[in-house]
Homo-oligomer: A and B are copies of this chain.
């Protein structure tokens, strides 16, 4: 079957051959750069393992003949020049950082899969018109500095973030600036805003990612075409009480910051369920007590709360109710609500219509089943959508698992995703 008209190059679509064995080997190798034992993966921004992962990806970019550059915070770009290199390029990419004790595929499939998509196109004899670019984003996960999609938020031109990063520190009080410079970036803090992309740098941005939900697997569908990304928000909350000795302070004299935190965690669940929509989610992933001794009444507690919805207004109502509960609990338990900070409160993003069409048509060309769907997880695409038309390709993953060692995508599903990505990149490159 030759279809030169639909995708603009003269190779049969059936010959788009993915080297899935190599892709799987690369995923395995990347997973060894980890600070927790296999099969779990822990790869935190600017640690030694993160730096090693970056070196690995840059060397693969070089092997694929891409020209590699890095920006001041370590977003990595691998470029294949098109025949009209001055046109806005078509970009694709994802992240390779991994939260503690997570898996091998989140983000990684969109980085190493993008490299394989480029290899597929090169092997097929395709010649891009617009340049194709792979982006490896710095710190999609908020693990170290509490900021999700750090690299893509900066690429999208967040002045507020550039400013905040000048004074941001991690849990060990290491500044963002010194962490970045220890990894070889940001030798001058004034460089942060050099990361901002010029508007119009890209005509399209695409991200290949595991679904992180069970739908595609359950319905036996190969490709998810993402039409929108849910609106995420996150909060930091701290309570302070008097603390004291667990034996000596009688119950009526206590103001236990830990019990205030426990109540707030349950209130988050309640407000989320009260939204009445299956699409509202909320999670207390971090709950820490100070001083953290069995015989000491907690004098401080610290919670980090994540809530999301495809409906921004409904999510904002949940945020408001969480705030009301925090105040009410503090008052009733005579603890101080010493912090209630909205870390981020992002609107949802919508995929570009013509990119959706390109993805759908690529899936059809390849005889792969597809489904239009929502991304409930956020991605760097959420922020790339602010500076470029955006689209995302999902592939099934085992039981929808993500952020844990059991996370898995099959060789077949990854190959399908890479093919759809390659063909969509080709189509968009010629537009």
Q: Which residues of A contact B (CB under 8 A)?
A: 99-102, 106, 141-143, 146, 148, 211-214, 230, 232, 234, 243-253, 256, 258-259, 261-263, 265-266, 269, 272-273, 278-299, 304-306, 308, 375-378, 400-404
Minimal Cβ-Cβ distance residue in B for A214? B253
Query: Knowing A244-B403, A246-B283, A262-B262 touch, does A294 contact B234 (C-beta < 8 A)?
Result: yes
Contact of A308 among B141, B211, B247, B286 (CB under 8 A): B247
A296 partner residues in chain B, CB cutoff 8 A = 99, 102, 283, 285, 403-404
The complex is assembled from copies of this chain, and their number is: 2
With A99-B293, A293-B100, A295-B141: A281-B244 Cβ-Cβ less than 8 Å: no
Q: Which residues of B contact A252 (CB under 8 A)?
A: 278
For A273, the chain B residues whose CB sits under 8 A away are 251
Contact: A141 with B403, CB < 8 Å?
no
**Cα distance, A246 to B402, chains bound together (Å):** 9
CB closest chain-B residue, reference A279: B250
Cα distance, A273 to B254, chains bound together (Å): 12
Minimum CB distance partner of A378 in chain B: B247
A262 touches B266 (CB 8 A): yes
In whole angstroms, how far apart are the Cα atoms of A232 and B295 in the complex?
A: 10
| A294-B289 in contact (CB<8A) | no
Report yes or no: A244 in contact with B404, Cβ–Cβ below 8 A: yes
Contacting residue for A250 out of B246, B281, B287, CB 8 A: B281
Is A248 in contact with B402, judged by CB distance below 8 angstroms? yes
**Residue in B247, B269, B294, B403 whose beta carbon sits within 8 Å of that of A295 in the complex:** B403
Residue numbers in B under 8 Å from A251 (CB-CB):
269, 272-273, 278, 280-282
A212 to B244, CA, bound (A): 8
Q: How far is the CB of A343 from chain B (nearest CB, A)?
A: 8
| A224 smallest CB distance to B (angstroms) | 12
Kindly report which residue of chain B lies nearest to residue A101, judged by CB atoms. B291
Q: Chain B's nearest CB lies how many Å from the CB of A308?
A: 5
In the bound complex, do residue A283 and residue B295 qualify as a contact, i.e. CB atoms below 8 Å apart? yes
In Å, the complex CA distance between A243 and B403 comes to 8
Asked if A246 contacts B285 (CB within 8 A), the reply is: yes
Q: How far is the CB of A248 from chain B (nearest CB, A)?
A: 4
8 closest Cβ contacts across the A-B interface?
A247-B377, A212-B248, A246-B283, A262-B262, A245-B402, A294-B304, A99-B293, A262-B265
**A308 partner residues in chain B, CB cutoff 8 A:** 246-247
**Structural contact, B249 and A213, CB atoms closer than 8 A:** yes
A283: chain B residues at CB < 8 Å are 246, 256, 294-297
Q: Is the CB of B404 within 8 A of A299?
A: yes
Given contact pairs A212-B248, A265-B259, A272-B251, A292 touches B298 in the complex (Cβ within 8 A): no
A143 to B, closest residue via Cβ:
B293
**Shortest distance from the beta carbon of A83 to any chain B beta carbon, whole Å:** 39
What residue in chain B is nearest A304 (Cβ atoms)? B294
Q: A269-B259, A285-B297 are in contact. Are A247 and B291 (CB under 8 A)?
A: no
Cross-chain contact A99 with B248 (CB below 8 angstroms): no
Whether the pair A213, B295 counts as a contact (CB closer than 8 A) is: no
